[in-house]
A and B are shown apart, each in its own frame.
Chain A
Amino acid sequence: MNEQIISRVPLFTSLPANEIKHLAETLHSAEVPPETILFREGEYGDRFYIVREGQIEIIKALGTPDERLIGVRGPGEHVGEMSLFNRDGLRTASARTQATTQVLVMTRADFDALLNRQPTLAYEMVRVLSMRLHQAHNTTIRDLREKNRQLTEAYESLKAAQAQIIEKEKLEHELHVAREVQASLLPRATPQLPGWEFVARWQPAREVSGDFYDFIPLPVAPPAFDSAPNWGLVIADVSDKGMPAALFMALTRSIVRASVTGARSPADCITQANRLVCADTAQGMFVTLFYAQLDPATGDLTYVNAGHNPPWLYRAEDDQWTELTRTGMALGMFEVQALKQNTLRLNAGDFLFMYTDGLTDVTNRQGQRFETEQLRSVVHASRRASAAEMVAGLEEAVSRFSGGHTPFDDITFVVAKRI
């Protein structure tokens, strides 16, 4: 039985029959349980094993992340021969049994004696060795190719992700620049008029906003050149968010500025502005707008409300609120619309509170909205304070309400108070 096995070993096939017989009788036999490590890579080795029954796995880098199987030896094959040929005798790989395995063991001493008896065995050794080497070499090449492919893939993914990040940063930068341009379009300061206080706040939800406000000096026509100009107060809200809204906002601001003069009625001016806005509106965009022409000397206010959420007028005399409701539709809806106007007068202690719906849309952590009623009561509480104090109180109330929640919509409001 052993003779058969031994003669199947490629290294020994050319041995004479009597040598095979001798080996069969003298080689030590052993039975090895499954999963047993016969020898480990890097250890000193002085024996090799011929497999009679069972299977032995040859493993490189056993126990590390790079562990890989480089071969399996079955009956008639042998393992561990490299250590016999290697002067240092260190194992070049690890060997582990797969199942219960029966082996014939040949020590270096045995092998040296065999080589002495059969010197031509040396040629067989060389042939077998080079075959093994070729196999291992191929496996290594295949592994390297695979690793290279994986690295290339990872690199391409990384490049793509990088490109996306760069694109996003570019966009963010553009939006940031757009916001600065927008902010520069807003009045640098509120009007400084004796007997009046003006405060304004503009807080976009994102980088760019669809809200704006404006203070427009309206030169008085001759012959009253030396009297103080009237002022146009504007608050507006574009029906969209992001870049399109921001662009439309800038457009509307310019159109309104170009359309309002002290010479024509506010209703006519805004009707004209509406025509111009309609000419440029795409995608059904519209803008709600409140415009008031104020004569600071008399306190006369003539206003047009084009679909904007109604500003409040507070009257100190009777501690009453009035909503300045619409006198027409939002701009951009109907080119043929003719807007109307109303006139009233502000006396000492009266004020006008204009805002956009982002303010009442502020939500708290429970999802409740700030709502008009709450807003009015906060403003009412500071009705005798200065406009600056009122705004500070309002900002604090909003901040407390939202609990640090980021607002969903742009927040814009303007206070005009006669002192």
Chain B
Amino acid sequence: MDITVEQKEGRVPVTVFHIKGNIDVNSYEQLQAQARLAYETGARNLLLDLAEVPYVSSAGIRAINSIFNLLRTSAPSESDEAVRKGLSDGTFKSPHLKLLSPAPQVFEVLTIAGVDMFLEIHRDLATAMASF
């Protein structure tokens, strides 16, 4: 799996990971490490471009989950109470981590695991950038 990192400027700086290859048990640690590195060099908003990812396994879901936790802040809108309510009525979505252009089979895996219940999934880059 390869990750190309791109810095973009929207309303806020957004780090885009263009990922190529499967996100599975062999590559999920690499993704997590890359995200951690980005975070430690100041990235606070991350967009995962999944256009060239043919397959995501449960290990990949775990990586996405851990990146979500990494970027979660202590802002009131992200507090436990807000998240609980937001999850319940479907209004909570992470403001810091978003997904872009998953292939149909990857989208299916994401929805089964419920990742779409707390992460926005966008179909094009412009909309994704504007959402941050």
Contact = CB atoms under 8 A, between A and B. Distances in A.
B5 interface: no
A326 B58 contact: no
B80 A285 contact: no
A237 B61 CA distance: 13
A284 B112 contact: no
B62 A285 contact: yes
Contact of B114 (A284, A326, A357): A326
Interface string A295-321: 000000000001111100000000000
A284 B69 contact: yes
Interface string A223-265: 0000000000000010111000000000000000000000000
Contacts of B83: 334, 336
A307 B66 contact: no
Contacts, number: 61
Contacts of B113: 288, 307, 329-330
Interface in A318-338: 326, 328-330, 333-338
Contacts of A329: 87, 113-115, 117-118
Interface residues of A, number: 25
B84 interface: yes
A334 B112 contact: no
B114 A336 contact: no
Nearest to B88: A338
B97 to A, nearest CB: 13
B34 to A, nearest CB: 16
A286 interface: yes
The secondary structure that dominates the A interface is loop
A200 to B, nearest CB: 21
Nearest to B70: A284
B27 interface: no
B65 interface: yes
Contacts of A237: 58
Interface string B106-119: 00000111110110
B59 interface: yes
Given A286-B65, A307-B112, A338 B87 contact: yes
Interface of A: 237, 239-241, 283-286, 288, 306-310, 326, 328-330, 333-338, 357
7 contacts: A284-B66, A307-B112, A328-B114, A330-B113, A334-B118, A336-B80, A336-B83
